[in-house]
Chain A
């Protein structure tokens, strides 16, 4: 493992009720690297992200974050999760809390940050991403795009070493996708290490250093966006991209 490795996944396997969803995933991310996972629904993208965050216990294999093996027996999963942010397709904001409370809850309760400090940090984040006037709103008063941006800020407030994005624009109306992608783009420019499962191919081509094509629980092909999108070597990758082009999504 090189000095700058943020995430290392080796031989990761995961089954649900005898159905093997991940069949030996190997993946490495350097610090500040942005990697996109593409592939059909059910190919294992979401499961891979949930395993990296330990939301799903892994059956076999190793996951190492910043040099610490998080799949080792007896690790404190709560401590691990504080270092790894995840943003979900359905936002999953806490509906009974204001935007500000959504963002400050984990820093205050999990990290023990002083509430005043946590609120100043949260306001700074909200300002940076143009959501300052929403600080006292409840999630159901926000558009989907605003909710998803708040969900990203909620993850960022923990100052994660690694950010996992699980199809964060898939539930959004088309006109709201751009504002969320803009946030992710800004994070990438700021050097955030990110593993992104996405259906937005042009965005993946634009932002990713590397693209991994998942098919039936394995990474079938990986490479630079140019390699994957322009001259994929695997027939399955070609097929998948062909269908995306036919659907007018590339």
Chain B
């Protein structure tokens, strides 16, 4: 809700004041702690900070690339899984069971294990024609893990569209696939945009895990810097870069949630 006029300015001032008080209080407590001089030297070294800013952002572009490639693949693959799971009737039971097993497996196994198993395991098999590149398998692992989550988000969306919508589409002579494509999915995807984007915020962070396979991305690069300088400031720089990448997506998600709530209210609840 947008406050207006004097009361709006007043709330802004209060918010500003309480933020300043909070930050000052935290800074006071931290800087008075016994270990602060040591921590300050290890994590907040100005010289190392400048040096890190010179090399880590370039490695960070690898994370952005991993994220963008994985995101597109996840959107497509997860939708495929969700559709498999929504197929009706006993004939499609094996496909449904397969989709459920997939979602259970890849939501259950820790992401870091999937990355290790695929990234080190598959290239070690030395099968002709199968890529040996660890970056390739890192991306595959992320796609498999995140598609399991995103397929559940899609499925929730598909199930939230009232059955009467499909009945209306089918009654007009559209096939099941056409009803899904033109009537159900557009409504479903719109509804699950916020949780979908939320999953992608998680994906952005987890691109750092690909560094464990040896790919030099931001996290791996910061490890190299830490080893070279005996100082932890490069980690701080990497963390800042990830936060900067996350903020636009997080705000976009918030904005979509607010917009949906406004629309619901405008339609008198329920629509």
Contact = CB atoms under 8 A, between A and B. Distances in A.
B187 A95 contact: yes
Nearest to A86: B171
B82 to A, nearest CB: 18
B173 A95 contact: no
A95 B267 CA distance: 12
A55 B174 contact: no
Contacts, number: 61
A88 B167 CA distance: 10
B108 to A, nearest CB: 35
A164 to B, nearest CB: 9
B172 to A, nearest CB: 4
A90 B270 CA distance: 14
B182 A88 contact: no
Residue from the set B164, B171, B186 with the largest chain A CB neighbour count within 10 Å: B171
Contact of B173 (A79, A90, A94): A79
B271 interface: yes
Residue from the set B169, B173, B178, B186 with the largest chain A CB neighbour count within 10 Å: B173
Contact of B168 (A88, A109, A111): A88
B187 A105 contact: no
Q: What DSSP secondary structure best describes chain B's contact surface? A: helix
Interface string A80-124: 011001101010111110000000011001110000000000000
A92 B178 contact: no
Contact of A78 (B165, B175, B182, B271): B175
Residue from the set A78, A88, A158 with the largest chain B CB neighbour count within 10 Å: A78
Interface string B142-174: 000000000000000000000011011111111
Contacts of A71: none
A152 to B, nearest CB: 12
B65 interface: no
A110 B164 contact: no
Given A88-B164, A95-B187, A105 B172 contact: yes
B50 interface: no
A81 B170 CA distance: 8
Given A81-B172, A82-B173, A158-B173, A92 B165 contact: yes
A108 B8 CA distance: 51
A53 interface: yes
B172 A82 contact: yes
A110 to B, nearest CB: 4
Interface residues of B, number: 19
Contact of B170 (A55, A90, A155, A158): A55
Contact of B271 (A55, A81, A94, A140): A140
A154 interface: yes
B197 interface: no
Residue from the set A90, A106, A111, A140 with the largest chain B CB neighbour count within 10 Å: A106
B168 A94 contact: yes
A157 B182 CA distance: 17
Residue from the set A85, A86, A94 with the largest chain B CB neighbour count within 10 Å: A94
A110 B178 contact: yes
Contacts of B178: 109-110
Given A90-B164, A92-B164, A155-B171, 7 more contacts: A95-B187, A96-B186, A105-B172, A109-B174, A109-B178, A109-B182, A140-B267
Interface of B: 164-165, 167-175, 178, 182-183, 186-187, 190, 267, 271
25 contacts: A55-B167, A55-B171, A78-B175, A79-B173, A81-B173, A82-B173, A85-B171, A88-B167, A92-B164, A92-B167, A95-B187, A96-B186, A96-B187, A96-B190, A105-B172, A105-B174, A109-B178, A110-B172, A110-B174, A111-B173, A140-B271, A154-B172, A155-B171, A158-B172, A158-B173
